Amino acid sequence: MESKCGRRCVLGRTGLADLIERTCHHARRFAEGLSEAGYEVLNEVVLNQVLVSFGDAVTTNKIIAELQADGTCWCGGTVWQGNTAMRTSVCSWATTDLDVQKSLDVMLRIAAKHRKR
C-alpha cells in the first residue's frame, strides 16, 4: 500500500489500530498494578500514558532515578497539575505482556523500598 507521499505503509490501518490498542492495554496494566499496590495514578488512562505519584516529590524522584539506573525500563519525571509524577509512556511496537510485567515488578520493588511506614 502506498501512502500519499509515495512511501510504503508497513502497518496499514489494521496494524496501526492493533499497535494503538496494545500500547493502551499495556498502559492500563501499569496503572492497575500501581494502583492496586496503593500508589496514586493521577490521570485517567485513555491512551498510552500513565502518571503516578509515590507520595511526595522527593520520594517520587528517588524512585524514578533508581528505576532508570536499574535499566529494566525507562520512565521519566514530570509535574502534572502541581504534582510530581513518574510518567510511563508505552510506545514501542515490540513491548510485550511479559515486558510490562517485568517492568511493573521492578517498579513495585523499588517503590516498596521507599514506602513510608
Q: Is residue 43 part of a domain?
A: yes
Give residue-wise pLDDT tens across range 33-88: 999 999 999 999 999 999 999 999 999 999 999 999 999 999 999 999 999 999 99
**62 in any annotated domain:** yes
Question: What is the per-residue pLDDT for 7?
Answer: 54
Domain total of the chain = 1
pLDDT of residue 3: 47
Expressed as residue numbers, the domain containing 73 is 12-114
pLDDT in tens, 10-22: 778 898 999 999 9
Encoded amino acid at 43, one letter? N
Residue 12's pLDDT is what?
87
The CATH number for 42's domain is 3.90.1150.170
Check if the beta carbon of residue 34 is closer than 8 Å to that of residue 108: yes
Q: Kindly state whether residue 6 falls inside one of the protein's structural domains.
A: no
